[in-house]
Amino acid sequence: MLDVRRLRLLSELARRGTIAEVARSVGYSPSAVSQSLARLEREAGMALLERDGRNVRLTPAARRLVERTDRVLAELDAAEAELAAEHGTVRGAIVIGAFPSAAARLVAPAVGVLHARHAELTCAIREHEPEDGIGLLRAGELDLLVSEHYDDVEPAPAGGLEQHLLVAEPLLLVLPVTAPGGDVVPLATLAAEPWIGGIGETQFAGALEHACRAAGFSPRFVHRADEASLYQALVAAGLGVGLLPALACTPFAGVRYARAAPEPPRRHIVALLRRGAARRPALAALLDALGEAARAAAPGEAARAAAADGRPGQTARVPSLHTAATSGTPGR
Q: Nearest-CA neighbor of 220 among 183, 191, 187?
A: 191
Reduce the DSSP state of residue 264 to 3 states and report it: coil
Q: Same structural domain for residues 115 and 149? A: yes
What average pLDDT does range 61-84 have in this prediction? 74
Q: Same structural domain for residues 161 and 179? A: no
> What is the CATH number for 21?
1.10.10.10
In a domain, 290, yes or no: yes
Q: Same structural domain for residues 181 and 211? A: yes
Give residue 230's domain range: 171-261
Query: Mean pLDDT over all residues of the chain?
Result: 83
Q: Same structural domain for residues 206 and 273? A: no
Distance CA 33, CA 303 (A): 42
Q: What confidence score (pLDDT) does residue 85 get?
A: 59
Q: Same structural domain for residues 153 and 273? A: yes
Work out the widest C-alpha separation in the chain, in whole angstroms. 70
Domain tally, the chain? 3
Q: What confidence score (pLDDT) does residue 212 get?
A: 95
Q: Which residue spans within the chain are E strands per DSSP?
A: 49-52, 55-58, 92-98, 121-127, 144-150, 161-169, 171-176, 184-186, 194-197, 220-224, 242-245, 255-261, 267-274
What average pLDDT does range 17-23 have in this prediction? 82
Q: What confidence score (pLDDT) does residue 136 get?
A: 85
**What is the C-alpha end-to-end distance of the chain, expressed in Å?**
43
Distance CA 188, CA 317 (A): 28
In a domain, 301, yes or no: yes
Least confident of 30-34, 87-91, 228-232, 270-274: 87-91
> What is the CATH number for 198?
3.40.190.10
Q: What confidence score (pLDDT) does residue 268 get?
A: 94
Q: What confidence score (pLDDT) does residue 203 get?
A: 86
Q: What confidence score (pLDDT) does residue 315 get?
A: 28
Q: Nearest-CA neighbor of 108 among 306, 297, 280, 283?
A: 297
What average pLDDT does range 311-326 have in this prediction? 34
- With cut-offs at 50, 70 and 90, classify the pLDDT of residue 320: very low
Q: What confidence score (pLDDT) does residue 145 get?
A: 96
Q: Same structural domain for residues 158 and 189? A: no
**Residue 26 class from Cβ within 10 Å (0-12 exposed, 13-18 middle, 19+ buried)?**
buried
In a domain, 64, yes or no: yes
Q: Same structural domain for residues 35 and 96? A: no
Least confident of 12-21, 118-127, 205-214, 256-265: 12-21
Q: What confidence score (pLDDT) does residue 325 get?
A: 36
Q: What confidence score (pLDDT) does residue 154 get?
A: 83
The percentage of residues in the chain with a pLDDT greater than 90, rounded to a whole number, is 45
Q: Same structural domain for residues 51 and 11? A: yes
Reduce the DSSP state of residue 286 to 3 states and report it: helix
- With cut-offs at 50, 70 and 90, classify the pLDDT of residue 23: confident
Q: Going by DSSP bridges, is the β-strand pair 121-127/242-245 parallel, antiparallel, or unpaired?
A: unpaired
Q: What confidence score (pLDDT) does residue 110 get?
A: 96
Q: What confidence score (pLDDT) does residue 313 get?
A: 37
What average pLDDT does range 284-290 have in this prediction? 94
Radius of gyration, alpha carbons of the chain: 22
- With cut-offs at 50, 70 and 90, classify the pLDDT of residue 88: low
pLDDT in tens, 172-215: 999 999 998 899 999 999 999 999 999 887 889 999 999 999 99
Q: What are phi and psi of 321, to 5 degrees?
A: -60, -30
Taken in order 186, 189, 194, 199, the sign of the CA dihedral is positive
pLDDT in tens, 89-138: 788 899 999 998 899 999 999 999 999 999 889 999 999 888 778 888 88
- With cut-offs at 50, 70 and 90, classify the pLDDT of residue 250: confident
Q: Same structural domain for residues 67 and 211? A: no
